[in-house]
Chain A
């Protein structure tokens, strides 16, 4: 865990008073740089939330007014009147939750089989999976759309949920983690007469909980933020996920109602930001572990 950046400070601390002064200056400089960059990264989100509470005239005021002078909820009223945003919000919650649950179940089950079971064709089946991970999504998009319309699934929840559940990344991710579960634990369970499914449920799942959490956060955010696929298969305002609904807001009027659009994007974006902040630790830990495997 010792980093390149930490070392110079550790050695500098032991040297003279002049060195100490330079060390403090360097530290202030580093904080200054990171602070400015952090503020730049957060700014568009702050600006979005702030603009969503500003009356029309104030949105176009020059100058960096973060706190609205005359805060109003008018923009939210306009946005919610223009589109069924509550329903759209529910659609996103429902689709992302169902998708994540199914994907986690299928990926961990198959990941377990690939990590801990022997069967003819195991390696070729897994290679096939890895191979398709390199194929751009765009190649499968049109044919998948054709299948969805043949099934009569256009404008339904299953069109949003089912096709994406079969993503190779989930299996790959789970297999990496399940491989680390010690075989002795599974052997002991087998001697006790447990079936493979019991092993999966009682031994493997509890041990790979951090991986499941990290994967769940990634899948949930990915589904929530997806734009192109819903754009292709969803036709009615009522079935739009929230991101799609919000993207449709400017087109609904001749003059873009910027206040209402900012209110809409706030509704679409802020829940996920909060969701991330709540699960940040687990998420970062999960991503870090992938890195450790190189």
Chain B
């Protein structure tokens, strides 16, 4: 068990290079430490990735034997209107909420960063609370709040002189309803991440800016925001990957409707597998989701490198 830690220090690089097997044997303690994790990881992390590529080229109901069908699942997807609708909905939900979410989180983080602000902890906790709740459960609360006839949201709108909106029951408003639930649920989390990012900014930069007589807006533009680029980029990528997989919110709040207007890609994948028993087809959807995630992440990395990381 003593092996791991000291091996490289104990054997100077100049001495005889021990054979690989010997080195592995000496480090057996380390392998023992990572084994429990890696065994599970191999079964439930790695193998499924490869297996899903295989499943995407077969036809399988889950009961009868699998049949190899080549790329016909993907061809069927291209001709499937519901697939395109769900893809467009997913992109809508992603772009519809991410800027609002991150701007609001940034705004709140900047306000709540001031050490001198009283009740700072209380405000922070209040805004963070929604993030502790299960989206699947609070979606039910929002269903009550959004109710066309009796919901409190519409009665507030009426009070300030606006007409009632058929939130979850209309093609136009089903997606915005999900966006509202999403922003409510996630703002606290990103606010906290951005607050953490604010602590990493070099304080001498603010002192230098103060000496130069910079206004608050100038400090924000020239010191704070550049100091946050890495964190904001991280938030953007993480939230993109997360929101492309959105499932529980539409599944509970709108059930994908009306007329598939809020059906997400992930929901369609679930339906294909567990309602229509087309596991191969569902896997093909998951591969599309995977490709979309990679595409969007790489594109964002390029975009941010070009515009934000440029010194």
Question: What residues make up the interface of A, taking CB atoms closer than 8 Å to B?
Answer: 1-11, 30-31, 33-35, 37-39, 41-42, 44-45, 47-48, 51, 59-60, 62-64, 105-107, 109-110, 112-114, 116-120, 122, 125, 128-129, 132, 134-147, 162-166, 168, 171, 186, 190, 195-197, 199-200, 221, 224-228, 231-232, 243-244, 246-247, 249-250, 258, 261-262, 264-265, 268-269, 272-273, 275-277, 280, 284, 287-292, 294
Question: What residues make up the interface of B, taking CB atoms closer than 8 Å to A?
Answer: 1-8, 20, 23-24, 27, 29-31, 33-34, 36-38, 40-41, 43-49, 51-52, 55, 62, 108, 110-119, 122-130, 132-145, 149-150, 152, 155-156, 184, 187-188, 192-193, 195-200, 203, 206-207, 210, 216, 219-220, 223-224, 230-231, 241, 244-245, 247-248, 251-252, 266, 269-270, 273-274, 279, 282-283, 286-287, 289-290, 293-294, 297
Q: A1-B203, A7-B210 are in contact. Are A147 and B44 (CB under 8 A)?
A: yes
A276 to B31 Cα, complex, angstroms: 36
Whether the Cβ atoms of B45 and A168 lie closer than 8 Å is: yes
Whether the Cβ atoms of B4 and A287 lie closer than 8 Å is: no
A–B Cβ pairs within 8 angstroms, 10 of them: A2-B115, A3-B114, A7-B210, A31-B119, A62-B155, A106-B40, A118-B7, A122-B30, A143-B47, A250-B143
Q: A117-B27, A291-B199 are in contact. Are A190 and B2 (CB under 8 A)?
A: yes
Say what secondary structure dominates the interface of chain B: helix
Give chain B residues whose Cβ lies under 8 Å from the Cβ of A249.
Answer: 140
A280 to B51 Cα, complex, angstroms: 40
Whether the Cβ atoms of B117 and A143 lie closer than 8 Å is: no
Whether the Cβ atoms of A3 and B113 lie closer than 8 Å is: yes
Whether the Cβ atoms of A292 and B196 lie closer than 8 Å is: yes
Say what secondary structure dominates the interface of chain A: helix
Whether the Cβ atoms of A44 and B137 lie closer than 8 Å is: no
Partner of B140, one of A35, A42, A247: A247
Q: A42-B129, A138-B286, A269-B138 are in contact. Are A291 and B196 (CB under 8 A)?
A: yes
Q: A135-B49, A190-B6, A243-B137 are in contact. Are A273 and B129 (CB under 8 A)?
A: yes
Give chain B residues whose Cβ lies under 8 Å from the Cβ of A120.
Answer: 20, 23-24, 27
Give chain B residues whose Cβ lies under 8 Å from the Cβ of A196.
Answer: 1-5, 29-30, 33
Give chain B residues whose Cβ lies under 8 Å from the Cβ of A288.
Answer: 192, 195-196, 199
